[in-house]
């Protein structure tokens, strides 16, 4: 089969990322301009600021990718871009650049679903052996997805309120920790102990739910502050994390028992979590996760799934628009 060289763009949230990938696996260049330092000042992403940053950065990132890989735009076979879900203003920046390249270079345009991208971050280092169950856990998503081939995705579970990563970030914020809070809570929790006074009961239902847990933690911290009691951040981190990860594991184990997958993938920023990895690795199933740089948002994962869309001639036209609620 002929080689397929895809230029991919990902701007769904706060990272401006562009990558050049051959056959969905071979990474020729991968550049990310992170906005973490900017969003750290506000304790989270402000959409308007994120899209302005994308506008400022995207052409530099593109130039870097072409320069470091020694590639000219006419050499690519297609240009792929995240079309959703995500922040509409952020998505639009990537989409407009992708459309311009497609039009100027007469190359096919491929609109990619962000979650499919997160799942296909695993394709960089592994071949797929279906059925596959993927746990997609990030700042914007908490989902379990079943796949029986490259083109059919069945969402088994999603969240009825907050995403798990968002909840990590909010708990970090109330503890006066930096953004993003996930990695800091993960680290702190290692030296923490369980706090009985964080009142939370997990009730099993059809969806993930994180707002009740978030409120329980916030209430505990606020009450302690009001009474001038010391808040032990490590203990709060430990307790929060045990509840947060337990829920993931509970539903993941249900999915494994129901669908008997050959592979389980952990995807998205929260897949970096050490407690999650520890507990999932104890299950009797082959578990995979991408390298850290491909867990968080990146354009390589977009190129990886775009490769399969390319093979199916699943192209978009120039009417491609940002869709914050894009369905799988």
In the complex, the residues that contact ligand KG4 under the rule CB under 6 A are 13, 138-140, 165, 168-169, 180-183, 186, 268-270, 272-273, 296-297
Least separation in angstroms between CB 160 and ligand KG4: 18
**C-beta neighbour count of 192 within 10 angstroms:** 19
Residue 182's binding partner, choosing from Zn ion, ligand KG4, none, with beta-carbon cut-off 5 to 8 A by kind? ligand KG4
* Cis preceding-peptide flag for 70 (omega within 30 of 0): no
**CA dihedral in degrees (215, 216, 220, 225; nearest 10)?**
0
| Shortest CB 56 distance to Zn ion, Å | 21
Compute the distance between CA of residue 32 and CA of residue 19 in angstroms, rounded to an integer.
Answer: 9
Q: DSSP 3-state assignment of 131?
A: coil
In whole angstroms, give the CA distance from residue 264 to residue 266.
7
Chain centroid to CA 23: how far? 22
Work out whether the CA dihedral 256, 261, 267, 271 comes out positive or negative: positive
Of 276-315, binders to Zn ion (CB under 5 A) are: 297
Binding partner of residue 169 among ligand KG4, Zn ion, none, CB cut-off 5 to 8 Å per kind: ligand KG4
Q: Tell me whether strands 132-137 and 26-34 are parallel, antiparallel or unpaired.
A: unpaired
H-run or E-run covering 33? strand 26-34
Is residue 138 close enough to count as binding Zn ion by CB under 5 A?
Answer: yes
Count the site residues for Zn ion by CB under 5 A.
Answer: 2
CA 150 to chain centre: 19
Minimum CB distance to ligand KG4, residue 227 (Å) = 29
Residue 247: CB minimum distance to Zn ion, A: 19
Task: Choose between 179 and 220: whose C-beta lies nearer to Zn ion.
Answer: 179
**Beta carbon nearer to Zn ion, 14 or 297:** 297
Q: Which does 261 bind (CB under 5 to 8 A by kind): ligand KG4, Zn ion, none?
A: none
The minimum distance between CB 242 and Zn ion, in angstroms, equals: 24
Query: Between residues 10 and 69, which has the closer beta carbon with respect to ligand KG4?
Result: 10
Nearest approach, Cβ of residue 63 and Zn ion (Å): 24
Residue 15 touches Zn ion, criterion: CB under 5 A: no
The listed partner (ligand KG4, Zn ion, none) that binds 89, CB under 5 to 8 Å by sort, is none
Taking the least distance from each CB to Zn ion, the nearer of 169 and 297 is 297
**Across-strand partners of 74?**
none
Q: Please name the helix (run of DSSP H) or strand (run of DSSP E) that holds residue 266, with its range, or none.
A: strand 263-267
> In 3D, which of 135, 241, 246, 230 has the Cα closest to residue 181?
241
Pick 66 or 236: Cβ nearer ligand KG4 = 236
> In this complex, which beta carbon is closest to ligand KG4, that of residue 101 or of residue 188?
188
Which is nearer to ligand KG4, 108 or 192 (by Cβ)?
192
Give the residue ranges of DSSP H helices in 156-288. 164-174, 182-189, 211-226, 233-259, 274-280
Residues near Zn ion, by CB under 5 A: 138, 297
């Amino acid at each position: 089969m002929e080689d397929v060289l895809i230029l991919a763009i990902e701007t769904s949230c706060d990272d401006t990322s562009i990558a050049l990938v051959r056959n969905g696996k071979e990474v020729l260049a991968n550049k990310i301009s992170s906005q973490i330092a900017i969003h750290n000042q506000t304790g989270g992403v402000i959409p308007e600021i994120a899209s302005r940053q994308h506008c400022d950065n995207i052409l530099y990132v593109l130039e870097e990718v072409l320069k470091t890989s020694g590639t000219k735009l006419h050499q690519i076979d297609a240009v792929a871009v995240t079309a959703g879900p995500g922040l509409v203003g952020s998505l639009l920046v990537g989409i407009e650049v992708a459309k311009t390249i497609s039009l100027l270079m007469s190359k096919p345009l491929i609109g990619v679903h962000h979650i499919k991208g997160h799942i296909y971050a695993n394709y960089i280092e592994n071949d797929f052996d279906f059925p596959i169950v993927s746990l997609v856990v990030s700042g914007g998503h908490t989902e379990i997805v079943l796949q029986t081939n490259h083109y059919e995705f069945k969402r088994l579970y999603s969240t009825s309120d907050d995403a798990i990563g968002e909840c990590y970030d909010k708990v970090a914020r109330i503890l006066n920790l930096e953004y993003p809070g996930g990695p800091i809570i993960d680290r702190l929790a290692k030296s923490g102990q369980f706090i009985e006074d964080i009142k939370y009961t997990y009730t099993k239902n059809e969806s993930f739910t994180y707002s009740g847990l978030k409120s329980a933690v916030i209430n505990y911290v606020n009450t302690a502050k009001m009474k001038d009691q010391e808040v032990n951040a490590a203990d709060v981190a430990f307790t929060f994390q045990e509840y947060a990860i337990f829920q993931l594991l509970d539903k993941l184990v249900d999915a494994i028992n129901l669908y008997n997958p050959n592979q389980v993938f952990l995807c998205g920023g929260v897949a970096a979590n050490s407690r999650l990895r520890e507990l999932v690795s104890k299950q009797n199933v082959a578990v995979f996760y991408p390298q850290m740089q491909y867990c968080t948002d990146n354009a390589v994962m977009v190129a990886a799934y775009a490769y399969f869309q390319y093979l199916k001639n699943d192209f978009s036209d120039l009417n491609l628009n940002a869709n914050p609620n894009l369905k799988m």
